Copies of this chain bind each other. A is one copy, B any other.
Amino acid sequence: MFNFIEGGVTAPQGFTAQGVCASIKPSNTTKRDLALIYCDTLCSAAAVFTKNLVKSDTIAVTKKHLKNGKAQAVIVNSGNANTCNADGYDKAVRMCEIASDVLSVKAEDVIVASTGVIGEILPIEPIEKGAEAMRGKLTKDGGTNAAEAIMTTDTVKKEMAMTMTLGGKTVTVGGIAKGSGMIHINMGTMLSFVTTDAAVSAEMLECALREAVEDSYNMVSVDGDTSTNDTLAIMASGKAGNAEITEKNEDYRTFVEGLTEAFKMLAKKLAADGEGASKLLVCSVSGAKTKEDAVKVSKSIICSSLLKAAMFGADANWGRVLCAIGYSGADVDVKKVEVSFKSSKGIIDVCKNGAGIPFSEEKAKEILLENEINIIVTLGDGDAKAEAYGCDLTYDYVKINGDYRT
């Protein structure tokens, strides 16, 4: 139904992008840190943002520009969050003007975002020069440079592209994301930009975005810190030629399902590349009384520092899973809980009826030494399920965050 394909934010029809090194941090002379994404037609557009009260001023500007549900371009920098600065709003407006000039779009049709250190004044000159260097150079191939330009402590670029069929037409969705630390449930990303050539009204695009984010980005945690700059924006060019989605019909449901899978793919990439992470953790909870209980349990497990450290050590310490279930706040009968660990090396049951069962420590070690671990929890109390995404806690997380600013 949904096919993942090669490519990223420029995979859908109508979109081009580019990324350059603008030296926004003077010490950075090689890494790309400024990106532009452009569509050759005005798009339906929507975005969701961090729930942190401390917000980057870029968010206020983007919100204003998306009031009419339309956008045509994105400008985004890494290396500086433009947050907690007295002149933050003016600088964010200026970034839109720069994109407007270089791309010949209206400034109010530009989405702006920033990521990096909080509380340092954003230098505007490197952004002017960097954007100028991209004039006339946005291409399909440039999407991967844009993916690189939004990285901070990320170690790999995160790109995704997929196709689906809507009313007989092939629709493409593409996206990039960044985020490694300061990632938590409820906007489990710092920045993500998703494009599609589906024809969708602005209103339905906003609804679809809010639905798809619930089981994907909102189920990721790296370290329990919710960032100040989180932005997930989507633009739909309509070039696929499908009948425009203007109500919650079958095409809408298909679109939401596809979008959910697309977001999950990017969300897992974020979790796997969490700061210092050596493993992706997926916690699948089933048999819960309600969806809410399943969500609470899976999030609580994926957020436990103790369990995260045990997974780093490939230690089948299921007691920490039980412990995290116990303080999750979910309505659970602990005497019915079952726990298994699974990876490409197999599956091992470690707890039944809320108590330990004999298992081979050797086999458990073999399973847990893999780099993608599935923690499977059955609550035996109903039909509801949820899945959360996270990563292990390692020496490198401490190292990266012990002196991030220097």
Q: Which residues does A use to contact B, with CB under 8 Å?
A: 51-55, 81, 83-86, 117-120, 181-182, 184, 223-228, 303-306, 309-310, 312-313, 315, 317-320, 322-327, 332, 334, 351, 354-356, 393-395, 397-406
Contacts and interface: CB of A to CB of B under 8 A. Distances in A.
Nearest to A401: B309
Contact of A309 (B317, B325, B398): B398
Given A54-B322, A323-B52, A312 B398 contact: yes
Contacts of A309: 397-398, 400-402
Contacts of A401: 305-306, 309-310, 313, 393
A56 B332 CA distance: 16
A88 to B, nearest CB: 9
A103 B183 CA distance: 53
Interface of A is mostly: loop
A390 to B, nearest CB: 12
A352 B308 CA distance: 36
Q: In the A-B complex, list the 6 residue pairs whose CB atoms are closest, starting with the nearest.
A: A118-B319, A313-B402, A54-B326, A309-B401, A119-B356, A52-B326
28 contacts: A54-B325, A54-B326, A81-B319, A84-B319, A84-B351, A85-B356, A86-B355, A118-B323, A120-B356, A184-B327, A223-B306, A224-B224, A224-B303, A225-B305, A227-B323, A228-B326, A305-B401, A309-B397, A309-B400, A309-B401, A313-B401, A313-B403, A313-B404, A315-B403, A317-B404, A393-B398, A395-B399, A397-B398
Given A118-B323, A226-B327, A317-B404, 19 more contacts: A53-B332, A54-B325, A54-B334, A54-B354, A84-B354, A118-B322, A119-B351, A181-B306, A184-B327, A223-B306, A225-B323, A227-B323, A228-B322, A228-B323, A309-B397, A309-B398, A309-B400, A309-B402, A398-B398
Contacts of A399: 395
Contact of A327 (B53, B318, B332, B397): B53
A398 B397 CA distance: 9
Contacts of A406: 315
Nearest to A226: B327
Assembly of this chain: how many copies? 2
A76 to B, nearest CB: 19
Contacts of A318: 119
A323 B120 CA distance: 14
A193 B104 CA distance: 72
Contacts of A354: 54, 84
A171 to B, nearest CB: 35
A344 to B, nearest CB: 21
B84 A322 contact: yes
Given A53-B326, A227-B323, A327-B52, A315 B84 contact: no
Could you say which of A181, A228, A399 has the most chain B C-beta atoms within 10 Å of its C-beta? Answer: A228
Contacts of A327: 51-54, 184, 225-226
Contacts of A84: 319, 322, 351, 354-356
B306 A225 contact: yes
B405 A119 contact: no
